[in-house]
Structure 1
Amino acid sequence: MLGIGSIAKKVFGTPNDRKIKATQPLIDRINALEPEFEALSDAAIQERTADLKARVEKGESLDALLPEAFANCREAARRALGLRAFDVQLMGGIFLHQGNISEMKTGEGKTLVATFPAYLNALGGKGVHIVTVNDYLVRRDAEWMGKVYGLLGMTTGAVYPQQPELEKRAAYQADITYATNNELGFDYLRDNMKSELNDMFQRGHNFAIVDEVDSILIDEARTPLIISGPSQDRSDLYRTIDRVIPLLTEDHYTIDEKTRNVTFTDEGNEFLEEHLSGAGILPEGQTLYDPESTTIVHHVNQGLRAHKLFTRDKDYIVRDGEVVLIDEFTGRMMAGRRLSDGLHQAIEAKEGANIQPENVTLASVTFQNYFRLYDKLSGMTGTALTEADEFAEIYKLGVVAVPTNKPIARDDQDDAVYRTAKEKYDAIAEAIRESYERRQPVLVGTTSIEKSEQLSQMLTAAEIPHNVLNARQHEKEAQIIAEAGTPGAVTIATNMAGRGTDIQLGGNVDMKVMEALAADPEANPDELRARIEAEHAEAKQKVIESGGLFVLATERHESRRIDNQLRGRSGRQGDPGRSAFYLSLEDDLMRIFGSDRLDKMLSRLGMKEGEAIIHPWVNKSLEKAQAKVEGRNFDIRKQLLKFDDVMNDQRKVIFGQRREIMEADDLHEITQDMRHQVIDDLVDQHIPAKSYADQWDGEGLYVAVMEKLGLDQPVIAWTEEEGVDGEVIRERLYTASDELMAKKAADFGPDNMRQIEKQILLQTIDQKWRDHLLMLEHLRSVVGFRGYAQRDPLNEYKTEAFQLFEGMLDSLRADVSQKLSQIRPLSEEEQKAMLDQMKAQRSEVEDAARAVPPEGEAEAEAAAPGFVEADPDTWGNPGRNDACPCGSGRKFKHCHGRIS
């Protein structure tokens, strides 16, 4: 019997069905225009682009131009690539233009789909970014789809790491720019560390199309992008705190060994305040509860952890004056690895070793907050519906499932659950052998490199030829995946491997033609293609007769989306295929979600060794378990984002101020406002409102004005004058400070003064922002403890972060005013030397932004001897965390060893 919801869906259709139906009139209009555009010459296609651009300039909406733009783009793609877009591809493009995520199955041509909305939205001249998951796909897609854009009269750019600056600037100025999410985020941070507008790469955030949107906006969004550099030497702080820690008694703190955390009791806080004030670390009148004390509290916590939770010769050893960590699982030394957040320095202080400076964050941004900068965002993937709630809540993106061009003919079998991992792997090896013998291609998905190698050893022992796809270069991955559909091919891949390349039954004709031409450049390309196409047709027929591609998964992932991605490799464009998941009660997901009960039930059923339980109920219970894990992970990401949103609001203010300063020709008014605000603060402090004249601190005001503003004025005499109040003194100080700065401007010359003001402002903002980021990091690390006092850590963080930000702005105004008051007229040579020095200091920061790779990675260096990019055999055998042999300075797993 159907439920009310099911009956309603039958009558009215699902919301997804209604969205699909709504695009049909647009698709009919695009198709009706096809004969007109087919008749155009190549030059006329470009003229149409110019006409459409002119209409956008006159105010015509992109929605109104959509049918003509899509028709023009479809014709250009047909001529440039020999590909005529299907109606469902146009539909996917329409949803992308509307700012949605188009869920399109593997093999439905998402790379081509992106060209339609990219072309339409580039007509406004503000640029479009197409975001992909790795550098190989950036270059491949830019080159491949660039032929379409070129025929349309549009320019295409590709952005990649270590790119020459002129080339990168040109890539960002192009109409359509292909880039990875990492490079876009890092360039955004680098741009906001520049001191000249002309040096900035990105020209704004108009429209982004994110390919593999689930991977980029969810999987990779867990960790922020960080540009870091060495901080100032704080050895004295660590050593002073280290001398205080042994004085604490057990009444002063509590230890939670399970979470490896420590907290101070009220007695402990009072004890620390007394001793830290005596040591000169805690300023007079300041308590550990004040927001300004966040950094001190953080380091005291880390000092206590170093003493109470880390044991010499168990957690670390001291060798040649250096603290070296020990791996708790293997017992091996981990040379070069360091604990973060000042903990390693605290251990070094405890052991009397050399204290190495911490790395300090120069700039950081999360992917969530970077991609929310775009005026319009959209994305494509084969799997997004399971995360639709997260896309809607975090990014305001709807998810629309676009129907396939041909009905899916894949047979998705129920999961087979075995009692032990050994039984499971024996069954997998047998299933692969059966498929191999009947020449059916098999794609085996594993969850880790170790498991793929374990399975590879079993197949080698069984004498079954196979390819293993894990930490190899993208180009080679693409080649193996392209061959994964040939008769009898067995390919073992980690679940995410091979994205961006279709598995075509019978093999990939284009790849085979390229290989054949590379082997024999003298061959006739047309004859070669004809021969390879004939061989391919025969091979494809064999594969279809054997049942199509068999996707065999060795484990369920925490996320249904990852499982669906793997399953979706089979059954492209209506091809036959089948998929099956082989599980055991020892798998992580099964073990965590109640395998004990299932094990007892299977024992009672009297299951023999090697038998599996196969039932739709098992599938449903596993999907529920996966949904729970997905929900929990979403909550974690949401909570992290709430904390980052606090910093993001402040980041926008600072980056906005920097841009205004760079754009301004004359900063006189800004510096004057800052100076006057400093005077207001000093007058309010020393001559409080509604106070009597005998309560005024004229001497203190004189000293402060002299120190902060370089003004030698008779302030003490003013405070003793009859009828003079705080307002009169304030106005006199305004006038005196303005006259002083006007004289300095005349002495320096207007142009030089403008340059000096700009450099001092930018330099001070950047220094204050770096210090502020460090304070926020420390605040994050200690604010969680407020939960024990029944206070919401997030609200506490918001309140204190706001107070710290206000304090930063106050000290920024004071520092800028003080520096400007202290500059003195110099000779031309001295002026030039000072400006050069300021620019050099700015350039050091910018060099750090360019040169420092993601946190924890080495500086770039020369490639290893004999390294040839196109030949993996010349790379040696680097570990996943070793430096890449190409010399980029990044870890192998993040560079040439990255799994796509």
Structure 2
Amino acid sequence: MALRDRLRRLLRRPGTVDLRPLQAAVAEAGAREPEVRALSDEALTSAARALSEGGPDSSDGRPGSDATAHFLAVAREAARRTLGERPYDVQLLGTLGLLSGHVVEMATGEGKTLAGALAAAGYALRGKRVHVMSVNDYLARRDAEWMGPLYAMLGVTAAWVGQSSTPDERRRAYAADVAYAPVSEIGFDLLRDRLATDPADLVLPEPDVALIDEADSVLVDEARVPLVLAGAADTAAADAGYAELVRRLRPGLHYTADEEARNVQLTAAGARAVEQALGGIDLYAPEHLDALTAVNVALHAEVLLQRDVDYIVRDGAVKLVSASRGRVALLQRWPDGLQAAVEAKEALEASPSGEILDSITVQELVGRYPVRCGMTGTARAVADQLREFYDLEIAVIPPNRPCVRVDEPDRLYATAADKEVAIVDEIAAAHAAGRPVLVGTLDIAESERLARRLDRAGLPCVVLNAKNDAEEAAIIARAGAPGAITVSTQMAGRGTDIRLGGGAPPAGASPAPPPEADRDRVAGLGGLLVIGTGRHPSSRLDDQLRGRAGRQGDPGGSVFFASLEDDLVARYAPEESYDGPVAPDGRVDAKGAHWIVEHAQRVAEGVDLEIHRNTWRYHHLIGLQRREILAERDAVLHGDAADRLLADLRPERHARLVEEAGPEQTAAAARQIMLFHLDRCWAEHLAFLADLREGIHLRSLGRGLDPLVEFNREAVPAGKRLLRRARDRAADAFDALKVADGGIDLPGAELTRPSATWTYVVHDNPFGSLDERAFRGLVAMFRRTRRTTR
């Protein structure tokens, strides 16, 4: 076994981090427990503070046996006294995995939140400032307040940041040893800091340690999602007339939709109909490019984006739904043209758009931190991406109690209709026995359709999806009760903890644990039964859903139903077909048929990885260019770089201004002018790059060229000119400065910044940007070629 482990580590396979040194430290901590338990509260806090002098680690940053064991013993006792929870050995093992800079994989119900808090305290006692990144405001506040007493006993300060936090509240929170915050809020604070014109306005300190909850979701699913800071600008909303125009077009006649590539385009007849409706124009003439773009965007919004699948309408606004979480994606929106088109489609008031002043992807944001670690229940499936993009390894932590969940093989059906009948029959059988059932659906529309079908069959159920997310805690608290049927989207697939017999986990104010009789009854029936109504595009989402059952050694079961008509197969394996035997109830048992579904999921994961890799290549170049601008900006903001630069570029004007207004006012004016033009040129450069990236493919693919090479061919020279252009503009503005009443007239220098700014997340284009669609098209072409050569 030891030789096998060494070979696995040599090959760097997922989950091959050697846990033996960590286990030795945990064992030593256990031996010290009686000694530490005898300490008073004051003495325990003093012992923790004493650790901060040397740190709970050895000098090389790896766990050192003596100091680390003492830290673990002190931290375990502090948790027992303040939270009423004595961390298991496996939780301490997870803590050490985090302190070693790994992503730790811990199963559902194994106590990741407490393990993460102990690791954050460990880093803080080393003198590191820790940002615990969560996925939303609720979790940031909940975990900070829940773990607050633990931090206090360890002599560590902790705070949290939410969407409604004021700048002063944010500064105080980030000044704490441990700050909990949604990853998006940290990114937005960074973007706002990059437009600060006074060092006193800065909010974020220098990055140190990022500890990421739900690490696979943040680091992979959201890695390429841009966080955006926008400013007020004169931008036109989508014309509602285009939405009405495309609504009258007929599929097949006026447009064709490519379901595989998620694209839609006008036919010749459709183009003629649109041209006639727009007054007989030539839609493809250069002067009508804006009209062509508006029609295409409206057509995409009408045909390819589905209400209650891709988005919901709530409180008079379009709310996007996260595909990986099934929740409303707070603050997210599509790129402005598409967002406005969907709002026009739904006859809603257009939301503000504006000019993008700066943006950063989650991957870039996390990459700023010298130390990165995280925790999740499903990391091994994305081990290659974590290693490639973040240089992170995975430490797989064994469960405190062995998992006894029974995971049945998939049940495959020839048609979607046969599959739905089988799902209802399975739910009915479990309900009749009194066994609780959690049904995981792929989207909101499916959850509501299944609920109606269950209601007609006399099977009462509760639906949990993005439309009623406010009721999530109450619904989950009852999901493990005898006979309960809960139909949910992916909301219940991540971050929820369902207790057998009913009752919610002890995370703050929650219902009392279920009566022991109910728990025993459900356990005797086999525990919670999880039913998946189809395979997700990512196997991690399947595993997250499956993990709702079998927590901490509880009995449980899971089974996934699939059909050869599922969207996954239609999109990612359209060339595959099955013509073998089918049972009377529509069930298909042939291995070849099951292979088709598995193949489709592998292709989906491969496409996603390649899109992630391709997106990173673009953003990497943009990041390098941003770094050069930021270095100049920091030198201007925190020093006299602008004053010296403009004195060199315009020596006579500089000398005159110093004589008339004094050196301090001249230096202050130079700083504001230089900051303004650096920010202005960067915003213009971002707009240029966005247009370039979308348009480059039309030229490069037509000539058989590499889009990335063509992008770089224009983007690199443009980036090299950027700093010089900003300096030249600043010098011209400096030349034009006027002195009035002994002072410099800055308002007259036209340094007008946006009257308002706001932040949001640009959701991935649901059809993919042109490069993504092109990639999927190439994959489809390869499949067709391979099929014809068989």
Asked if 1:796 is matched to 2:775, the reply is no
CA 1:15/1:581 → structure 2, altered by over 3 Å: closer, same or farther? closer
Asked if 1:505 is matched to 2:489, the reply is no
Q: What displacement does 1:424 show?
A: 1.7
Letter in 1 for 2:621: V
Asked if 1:131 is matched to 2:144, the reply is no
Q: Which residue of 2 aligns with 1:459?
A: 454
Counterpart pick for 2:588 among 601, 613, 624: 613
Q: Secondary structure at the match of 2:488?
A: strand
CA 1:61/1:825 → structure 2, altered by over 3 Å: closer, same or farther? same
Asked if 1:359 is matched to 2:354, the reply is yes
Q: Structure 1 stretch 52-61 or stretch 146-155: which is displaced more?
A: 52-61
Asked if 1:825 is matched to 2:739, the reply is yes
CA-based RMSD of the aligned residues comes to 4.0
Asked if 1:419 is matched to 2:417, the reply is no
CA 1:811/1:511 → structure 2, altered by over 3 Å: closer, same or farther? closer
CA distance in 1, matches of 2:194, 2:393: 31
CA 1:45/1:437 → structure 2, altered by over 3 Å: closer, same or farther? same
CA distance in 1, matches of 2:533, 2:54: 55
Q: Which residue of 2 aligns with 1:478?
A: 473
CA 1:230/1:554 → structure 2, altered by over 3 Å: closer, same or farther? same
CA distance in 1, matches of 2:631, 2:107: 41
CA distance in 2, matches of 1:513, 1:666: 51
Q: Structure 1 stretch 786-795 or stretch 394-403: which is displaced more?
A: 786-795
Q: Which residue of 2 aligns with 1:119?
A: 121
Letter in 2 for 1:556: R
Q: Which residue of 2 aligns with 1:623?
A: 598
Q: 1:700-751 CA deviation, whole Å, 9 max, x = no partner? A: xxxxxxxxx5xxxxxxxxxxxxxxxxxxxxxxxxxxx2x5423321321222
CA distance in 2, matches of 1:499, 1:344: 27
In structure 2, the gaps of 5 or more residues are: 238-254, 267-282, 308-312, 319-332, 342-350, 764-790
Q: Structure 1 stretch 409-418 or stretch 70-79: which is displaced more?
A: 70-79
Asked if 1:48 is matched to 2:43, the reply is no
Q: Which residue of 1 aligns with 2:695?
A: 782
Letter in 2 for 1:425: E
Counterpart pick for 1:78 among 54, 57, 80: 80
Q: What displacement does 1:426 show?
A: 1.8
Q: What displacement does 1:395 show?
A: 1.3
CA 1:310/1:773 → structure 2, altered by over 3 Å: closer, same or farther? closer
Letter in 1 for 2:546: R
1:355-434 counterparts in 2 under 5 A? 359-434=354-429
Q: 1:758-778 CA deviation, whole Å, 9 max, x = no partner? A: 111111111111111111112
Counterpart pick for 2:533 among 542, 549, 554: 554
CA distance in 1, matches of 2:468, 2:683: 36
Q: Which residue of 1 aligns with 2:277?
A: none
Q: What displacement does 1:132 show?
A: 1.4
Asked if 1:811 is matched to 2:790, the reply is no
Question: Contact 1:228–1:359 (CA<8 Å) still a contact in 2?
Answer: yes
CA distance in 1, matches of 2:375, 2:489: 21
Q: Which residue of 2 aligns with 1:492?
A: 487
Q: Structure 1 stretch 556-565 or stretch 750-759: which is displaced more?
A: 750-759
CA 1:34/1:193 → structure 2, altered by over 3 Å: closer, same or farther? same
Q: 1:857-892 CA deviation, whole Å, 9 max, x = no partner? A: xxxxxxxxxxxxxxxxxxxxxxxxxxxxxxxxxxxx
TM-score by length of 1: 0.70
CA distance in 1, matches of 2:84, 2:201: 40
Q: Structure 1 stretch 577-586 or stretch 34-43: which is displaced more?
A: 34-43
Q: What displacement does 1:209 show?
A: 1.3
CA distance in 2, matches of 1:39, 1:339: 58
Q: What displacement does 1:619 show?
A: 5.3
Counterpart pick for 1:756 among 652, 669, 674: 669
Q: Secondary structure at the match of 2:738?
A: coil
CA distance in 1, matches of 2:607, 2:336: 26
CA 1:595/1:764 → structure 2, altered by over 3 Å: closer, same or farther? closer
1:603-682 counterparts in 2 under 5 A? 603=582, 607-608=583-584, 610-614=585-589, 622-664=597-639, 667-673=642-648, 675=649
Letter in 1 for 2:531: L
Structure number having the greater helix percentage: 1
CA distance in 2, matches of 1:408, 1:743: 79
Q: What displacement does 1:538 show?
A: 1.2
Q: Secondary structure at the match of 1:131?
A: strand
Q: Which residue of 2 aligns with 1:881?
A: none
Letter in 2 for 1:741: H
Question: Contact 1:469–1:492 (CA<8 Å) still a contact in 2?
Answer: yes
CA distance in 2, matches of 1:769, 1:365: 13
Question: Contact 2:642–2:674 (CA<8 Å) still a contact in 1?
Answer: no
CA distance in 1, matches of 2:653, 2:11: 76
Aligned length: 691
CA 1:302/1:581 → structure 2, altered by over 3 Å: closer, same or farther? farther
CA 1:798/1:105 → structure 2, altered by over 3 Å: closer, same or farther? same
Q: Which residue of 2 aligns with 1:207?
A: 209
Q: Which residue of 1 aligns with 2:90?
A: 88
Q: What displacement does 1:793 show?
A: 2.3
CA distance in 2, matches of 1:412, 1:342: 45
Letter in 2 for 1:196: D
Question: Contact 1:126–1:204 (CA<8 Å) still a contact in 2?
Answer: no
Counterpart pick for 1:539 among 515, 518, 522: 518
1:162-173 counterparts in 2 under 5 A? 162-173=164-175
Q: What displacement does 1:542 show?
A: 0.5
Q: What displacement does 1:599 show?
A: 4.4
Q: What displacement does 1:39 show?
A: 1.9
Q: Which residue of 2 aligns with 1:175?
A: 177
Q: Secondary structure at the match of 1:497?
A: helix
CA distance in 2, matches of 1:750, 1:771: 32
In structure 1, the gaps of 5 or more residues are: 236-254, 263-298, 317-323, 347-355, 517-531, 676-708, 710-736, 857-900
Q: What displacement does 1:357 show?
A: 11
Question: Contact 2:193–2:202 (CA<8 Å) still a contact in 1?
Answer: yes
Q: Secondary structure at the match of 2:132?
A: strand
Q: What displacement does 1:589 show?
A: 2.1
CA distance in 2, matches of 1:308, 1:470: 37
Asked if 1:441 is matched to 2:436, the reply is yes
CA 1:837/1:74 → structure 2, altered by over 3 Å: closer, same or farther? farther
Q: 1:642-661 CA deviation, whole Å, 9 max, x = no partner? A: 01111111112222322222
CA distance in 2, matches of 1:257, 1:429: 32
Q: What displacement does 1:207 show?
A: 0.9
Question: Contact 2:569–2:596 (CA<8 Å) still a contact in 1?
Answer: no
Q: Secondary structure at the match of 1:108?
A: coil
CA distance in 2, matches of 1:740, 1:7: 69
Q: Secondary structure at the match of 2:501?
A: coil
Q: Which residue of 1 aligns with 2:445?
A: 450
CA 1:586/1:14 → structure 2, altered by over 3 Å: closer, same or farther? closer
Q: Which residue of 1 aligns with 2:659?
A: 746
CA 1:471/1:803 → structure 2, altered by over 3 Å: closer, same or farther? same
Letter in 1 for 2:615: L
Question: Contact 2:264–2:303 (CA<8 Å) still a contact in 1?
Answer: no
Identity of aligned residues (%): 34
Letter in 1 for 2:587: A
CA 1:672/1:443 → structure 2, altered by over 3 Å: closer, same or farther? same
CA distance in 2, matches of 1:818, 1:839: 12
CA distance in 1, matches of 2:733, 2:147: 53
CA distance in 2, matches of 1:198, 1:747: 28
Question: Contact 2:415–2:586 (CA<8 Å) still a contact in 1?
Answer: no
CA 1:231/1:330 → structure 2, altered by over 3 Å: closer, same or farther? closer
CA 1:47/1:617 → structure 2, altered by over 3 Å: closer, same or farther? farther
CA distance in 1, matches of 2:423, 2:717: 60
Letter in 2 for 1:30: A
Q: Which residue of 1 aligns with 2:107?
A: 105
Q: Which residue of 2 aligns with 1:294?
A: none
Q: Which residue of 2 aligns with 1:217?
A: 219
CA distance in 2, matches of 1:14, 1:257: 41
TM-score by length of 2: 0.79
Question: Contact 1:62–1:120 (CA<8 Å) still a contact in 2?
Answer: no
Q: What displacement does 1:260 show?
A: 7.2
Whose Rg is larger?
1
Letter in 2 for 1:176: V
